[in-house]
Structure 1
């Protein structure tokens, strides 16, 4: 029985050929991977530019809001001063 297994194994062979289709398939897969990674890199770069622009816009809007808040406070203080002046005039009568 052992003799039969040994004889059987000697009959085995491994093909040492490479099919052209497999080479083309491997090249297509590699190119697809490279293009995919390139697109990811491009998207990442565009997203980082968009984020930078959004941060700049947010900073500009914050500055405008702070200026507007300051102007509103000044207007309220002026109105308060005018009301105080009117009350003083009315109380002197």
Structure 2
């Protein structure tokens, strides 16, 4: 259980690092991105582990990756190239 939580936290850090590396101009401060990635991964691991029970290490890590990516996607701001004048209502 401890190794599973540690693995999901590392997975959240890796996803947050990849997001800051790839989308640095569309994300807020790096500390917020890293903490959101780790918290999302731990929460996803908790939810999947609770739903599937013990002995499901790989599916729990998959759930951690999905929830971490989803929570990181909520931090994205729109890109500047699509900001233009909106059509009149």
TM-score range, shorter chain: under 0.3
Ranked by relative contact order (alpha carbons within 8 Å, sequence separation 6 or more), the top structure is 2
Tell me the TM-score normalised to structure 2 length: 0.28
Higher-Rg member (1/2)? 1
TM-score (norm 1): 0.27
